[in-house]
Amino acid sequence: MDYLEGLNPPQRQAVEQTEGPVMIIAGAGSGKTRVLTYRIAHLIYSKGVDAFNILSLTFTNKAAAEMKHRIEQVVGLEARNTWMGTFHSTFAKILRVEADRLGYPSNFTIYDTDDSKSLIRTIVKEKRLDDKVYKPNTVLARISGAKNRLISWQTYQNDPYIKADDETAMKPKIGEIYKTYQERLFKAGAMDFDDLLFNTNVLFRDHLDVLNKYQQRFKYVMVDEFQDTNLSQYLITKKLAAVHQNICVVGDDAQSIYAFRGADIQNILNFEKDYPDLFVVKLEQNYRSTKTIVEAANSIISKNKAQLKKNVWTQNENGDLIELIKAASDNEEGRLVASTIFEERNNKKLNNSDFAILYRTNSQSRAMEEALRKMNIPYKIVGGLSFYQRKEIKDLMAYMRFTVNPADEEAFKRVINYPKRGIGDTSVEKMMIAAYEHDIPLWEVVTNGSSFLAGRAANSVDDFATMIKSFKLEVERKDAFEAATSIAKQSGLLRELYEDKTIEGLNRYENVQELLNAIKEYVDNPENEDKSLGAFLQEIALLTDNDRDKDQSDAVTLMTIHSSKGLEFRQVFVVGMEEDLFPSQMMMQSREDLEEERRLFYVATTRAMEKLYLTYALSRYRFGRLLNCEQSRFLEEVDSTYVKVNKRMSSAIASSFRDYGSEGKSGFIGLKKPAMRTGTTAKIHTPSPDFKPSNTNNLQEGQKVEHPKFGFGDVMKIETEGANRKASIKFDNFGEKTLLLSFAKLRIL
Ligand code: ATP
Ligand code: MG
């Protein structure tokens, strides 16, 4: 029983109250997750409950794994038998067993967001709808919202309010798309993420024997981060617990940050109504953070009107004051954060993993990543791709790469038909094969599209070539920023992203802007002599290569505030504390929006155990321009007795940083050569030492020739005269190939 000694009285009460409905509403860091963990251990260890009968729903699979690990320390391997995971992973498991009840195969596929969007794109095309109006993201968001509120396509089509909504939004066909989308998923034996919850609800509604089976099985049901469940999730939980009524939910209304995805704080209030004999536990003692951090966080959340009364306190020491760091620019902000981590780590003998950098939007990671790389501080990005790995960034970089180096095949594949210009995969393949077989650069095939392709694809390739040629001229005449900006615009890439008005779409658009900002800063930096696009690309390629070699086990964590929920770090930096960035410009439609942003700020500050830094920049490159920024209103909401302004001379830090910068560059070894692509198993021919291409104007059938790659062969046939004159040649080792004589290098023997 000694494990219970690690709990304070109300925590212990919550752990020991195993029967009946329990709700723990408590502040950040007060041990909610700890209570759940101990509760499960207690059930198994002291109450003799079979681990198979316990279901625990967490926010991430990682959190579940951690809990399991801790329970294992008390009860041993038996812990592994508890059902523990996210809503999605848990119910996917149940759906696999019960799939036939819903007419699905048990090995149904789960579509990820890309699959879903691609399906919607196809449906929009088939229905001959305008894909500018019915953007996959927008349509999917609408369908997803409906599913999370358990609105089937049938209900969707018959509901006059929804109909009116869609008509006002000038998207009256969403109901129709929703229907076809579901039919196609079903036909493909596939479910999307929302279906996993939606179909579980259907399963439990229509198949009472199945519901009963799981009700009997899960004698104890627990939910962490209850404030962020949506209706669909809530109903599943409630149904499962209906027989035994042993349901325990833990949450913090002050940390509800997913309203935009359908999470409903009402669930907390409804819970009291749904279970009149509810046992409510309040936990108010914070064990995570210093007094300074706890009280500062209280001062922040007290500005919200909509909240349950809580008085969070701690016995922990006062600790350091919160440090406010003001930087001249976003890059300097990155440098100051990196150098502070560097100093703190050395002075206090901390690990890299003791630090986290939290931001409001993913695009802010770029300046941080660059500063950390330059100081050789290992970092990892959680819940998001590294800036330069994101698709939209890769796409624009691919345009730049292909413009600068048209032999770059990977870049070519990315951009040739994106944004869509009617060049299908077969055409792309044909061009790549042609380049290989004629032993000519890909670029030569692209600039002679009509020689290798027919019809519409040929015209599109010609247009593409003209566009790239104009980019080449820009790259020759202009600096990297000007050239990159016009590539982003003229390629249609920026427009494609701009027109997507969903949150993810705006994010991608911002990311591309952020890349342009980085190029602008590169150009503006007097240390960079070569301001060409080629030089910039080289610099970036080296940065990413350095990064890959790093051991990631002890690394600074970079993530959005949203994904930091439930976690804790010794030192936390909340960066970009500026108006329009945090609170986000996009979330300022109403008081509710502002309050959700404030809860997000509360979540961010309460991740810190020992030290919290709030940083902002006076200027930031956004939309390709250096904009002046105003400090966030949230900074004024933090009680100033807990804050000190960082007095360090930022320029001194900047110069010490420059030293690290040059050190980092001493490892320069130049760009790696791209690997050879052969594409065939036959051994490539080595041309004879005296190989010199002959004039093939008079090439005849029956002649013997040598090709630099395919070796020796016989001319079988000559077809089509003029510019498109071709020869079919039977090579000794490579079989018969048709080559365009104006391109093929052949030596007549
Ligand atoms: P959040 O709201 O951020 O999810 P939480 O309420 O789930 O926080 P926990 O993560 O469970 O809080 O606990 C915060 C920290 O305090 C953890 O490091 C935990 O081990 C510690 N802690 C909680 N309760 C106690 C206790 N009674 N004695 C010692 N440490 C405790
Ligand atoms: Mg928690």
**pLDDT, tens digit, 9 for 90 and up, residues 460-484:** 999 999 999 999 999 999 999 999 9
Cβ distance 328 to 653 under 8 Å? no
Q: What is the mean pLDDT of residues 434-438?
A: 82
Q: What is the pLDDT of residue 505?
A: 81
Q: What is the pLDDT of residue 383?
A: 65
Ligand 1, residue 566: give the atom nearest the CA.
4
Among 236-245, 402-411, 437-446, the range of highest mean pLDDT? 236-245
H and E: helices and strands count for the chain: 29, 22
Task: Give 2 or 641, the one with higher predicted confidence.
Answer: 641
* Helix, coil or strand: residue 555: coil
| CA-proximal residue: ligand 1, atom 9 (nearest) | 31
Task: Give 198 or 107, the one with higher predicted confidence.
Answer: 198
Sheet strand arrangement including 220-223: 83-86, 54-58, 220-223, 247-251, 22-26, 279-283
C-beta 251 within 6 A of ligand 1 = no
The answer to whether 273 is a known catalytic residue is no
Ligand 1 pocket mutation, candidates 2, 34, 602, criterion most atoms within 8 A of CB: 34
Q: Is the peptide bond before 526 cis (omega within 30 degrees of 0)?
A: no
Annotated binding site: 26-33
Question: Which is nearest to 446 in space by CA: 464, 429, 433?
Answer: 464
User: Which of 520, 565, 607, 620 does the annotation list as catalytic?
Assistant: 607
Calculate how far, in angstroms, residue 228's C-alpha sits from the geometric centre of ligand 2: 12
Ligand 1 pocket mutation, candidates 33, 39, 562, criterion most atoms within 8 A of CB: 33
Ligand 1, residue 7: give the atom nearest the CA.
27
C-beta 66 within 6 A of ligand 1 = no
Among 94-108, 361-375, 475-489, 649-663, the range of highest mean pLDDT? 475-489
What is the C-alpha separation between 19 and 516, in angstroms, rounded? 58
| CA-proximal residue: ligand 1, atom 23 (nearest) | 31
What is the C-alpha separation between 199 and 692, in angstroms, rounded? 68
Quick one: three-class SS letters along 257-322? CCHHHCECCHHHHHHHHHCCCCEEEEECECCCCCHHHHHHHHHHHCCCCCCCCCCCECCCCCCCCE
pLDDT in tens, 207-258: 999 999 999 999 999 999 999 999 999 999 999 999 999 999 999 998 988 8
Calculate how far, in angstroms, residue 208's C-alpha sits from the geometric centre of ligand 2: 33
| CA-proximal residue: ligand 1, atom 3 (nearest) | 566
Burial class (CB in 10 A: 0-12, 13-18, 19+), 674: exposed
pLDDT confidence bin for 675, thresholds 50/70/90 = very low
The answer to whether 33 is a known catalytic residue is yes
C-beta 406 within 6 A of ligand 1 = no
C-beta 15 within 6 A of ligand 1 = no
Q: What is the pLDDT of residue 735?
A: 85
The answer to whether 37 is a known catalytic residue is no
User: Which of 98, 194, 195, 225 does the annotation list as catalytic?
Assistant: 225
Q: What is the mean pLDDT of residues 387-391?
A: 77
In this predicted structure, the answer to whether residue 367 has a pLDDT above a threshold of 70 is yes
Q: Which listed ligand is nearest to 312 at the C-alpha?
A: 1
pLDDT in tens, 587-617: 677 888 899 999 999 999 999 999 999 999 9
Sorted by sequence, the CB contacts under 8 Å of residue 617 that are 6+ apart come out as 326, 327, 328, 329, 330, 332, 333, 576, 578, 629
Ligand 1, residue 28: give the atom nearest the CA.
2
Annotated binding site for ATP: 26-33
Q: What is the pLDDT of residue 429?
A: 82
C-beta 287 within 6 A of ligand 1 = yes
Q: What is the mean pLDDT of residues 643-656?
A: 58
Q: What is the pLDDT of residue 263?
A: 78
The answer to whether 32 is a known catalytic residue is yes
C-beta 32 within 6 A of ligand 1 = yes
Ligand 1 pocket mutation, candidates 5, 36, 37, 288, criterion most atoms within 8 A of CB: 288
Least confident stretch, 183-187, 664-668, 717-721? 664-668
8-state DSSP, 704: E
What is the C-alpha separation between 54 and 44, in angstroms, rounded? 9
What is the C-alpha separation between 469 and 527, in angstroms, rounded? 30
Calculate how far, in angstroms, residue 252's C-alpha sits from the geometric centre of ligand 2: 9
Q: What is the pLDDT of residue 672?
A: 29
User: Which of 11, 18, 32, 180 does the annotation list as catalytic?
Assistant: 32
Q: What is the pLDDT of residue 44?
A: 94
Q: What is the pLDDT of residue 38?
A: 95
Q: What is the mean pLDDT of residues 395-400?
A: 93
C-beta 33 within 6 A of ligand 1 = yes
In this predicted structure, the answer to whether residue 8 has a pLDDT above a threshold of 60 is yes
Token code pair at residue 509: 């658009």
Q: What is the mean pLDDT of residues 334-339?
A: 96
Q: What is the pLDDT of residue 652?
A: 39
pLDDT confidence bin for 306, thresholds 50/70/90 = confident
pLDDT confidence bin for 1, thresholds 50/70/90 = low
User: Which of 98, 194, 195, 224 does the annotation list as catalytic?
Assistant: 224
| CA-proximal residue: ligand 1, atom 21 (nearest) | 287
Taking all residues of the chain, what is their mean pLDDT, rounded to a whole number? 86
| CA-proximal residue: ligand 1, atom 2 (nearest) | 28
Percentage of the chain exceeding pLDDT 90: 54
Q: What is the pLDDT of residue 502?
A: 76
C-beta 39 within 6 A of ligand 1 = no
Q: What is the mean pLDDT of residues 11-40?
A: 95
In this predicted structure, the answer to whether residue 440 has a pLDDT above a threshold of 90 is no
What is the C-alpha separation between 359 and 559, in angstroms, rounded? 7
Q: What is the pLDDT of residue 682?
A: 60
For residue 377, what is the enclosing H or E element?
Answer: none
Cα-only R_g, the chain: 31
C-beta 340 within 6 A of ligand 1 = no
C-beta 598 within 6 A of ligand 1 = no
pLDDT confidence bin for 322, thresholds 50/70/90 = very high
Q: What is the pLDDT of residue 386?
A: 64
C-beta 10 within 6 A of ligand 1 = no
C-beta 11 within 6 A of ligand 1 = yes
Token code pair at residue 745: 């290098």
In this predicted structure, the answer to whether residue 659 has a pLDDT above a threshold of 50 is no
Token code pair at residue 442: 């890909």
C-beta 58 within 6 A of ligand 1 = no
Q: What is the pLDDT of residue 655?
A: 40
Cα dihedral 548, 553, 556, 562 sign? positive
Ligand 1, residue 252: give the atom nearest the CA.
2
> What b/e sequence results for 592-601 when a residue is b if at least 16 CB atoms lie within 10 Å of its CB, and e otherwise?
ebbbbbbbbb
Task: Give 352 or 625, the one with higher predicted confidence.
Answer: 352
Calculate how far, in angstroms, residue 379's C-alpha sits from the geometric centre of ligand 1: 25
- Whether this model's ipTM surpasses 0.90 comes out as yes
Token code pair at residue 692: 């010199």
Calculate how far, in angstroms, residue 34's C-alpha sits from the geometric centre of ligand 1: 6
The answer to whether 255 is a known catalytic residue is yes
Task: Give 622 or 18, the one with higher predicted confidence.
Answer: 18
C-beta 34 within 6 A of ligand 1 = yes
The answer to whether 225 is a known catalytic residue is yes
Task: Give 290 or 691, the one with higher predicted confidence.
Answer: 290
User: What are the DSSP calls for 343-376, one per residue?
Assistant: HHHHHHT--GGGEEEEESSGGGHHHHHHHHHHTT
pLDDT in tens, 107-139: 677 776 766 887 898 889 889 999 999 999 899
Q: Amino acid identity of 622?
A: R
Q: What is the pLDDT of residue 549?
A: 35
Cβ distance 685 to 710 under 8 Å? yes
Question: Which is nearest to 254 in space by CA: 502, 563, 604, 539?
Answer: 604
User: Which of 58, 182, 233, 255 does the annotation list as catalytic?
Assistant: 255
Calculate how far, in angstroms, residue 106's C-alpha sits from the geometric centre of ligand 2: 34
Calculate how far, in angstroms, residue 369's C-alpha sits from the geometric centre of ligand 1: 30
Token code pair at residue 444: 């030569």
| CA-proximal residue: ligand 1, atom 14 (nearest) | 29
In this predicted structure, the answer to whether residue 660 has a pLDDT above a threshold of 60 is no
Task: Give 537 or 342, the one with higher predicted confidence.
Answer: 342
pLDDT confidence bin for 86, thresholds 50/70/90 = confident
Q: What is the pLDDT of residue 384?
A: 60
Sorted by sequence, the CB contacts under 8 Å of residue 27 that are 6+ apart come out as 252, 254, 283, 284, 286, 310, 312, 606
Q: What is the pLDDT of residue 109?
A: 73
* Helix, coil or strand: residue 449: helix
pLDDT confidence bin for 90, thresholds 50/70/90 = confident
User: Which of 11, 18, 33, 696 does the annotation list as catalytic?
Assistant: 33
Q: What is the pLDDT of residue 663?
A: 30
Sorted by sequence, the CB contacts under 8 Å of residue 708 that are 6+ apart come out as 439, 685, 687, 691, 745
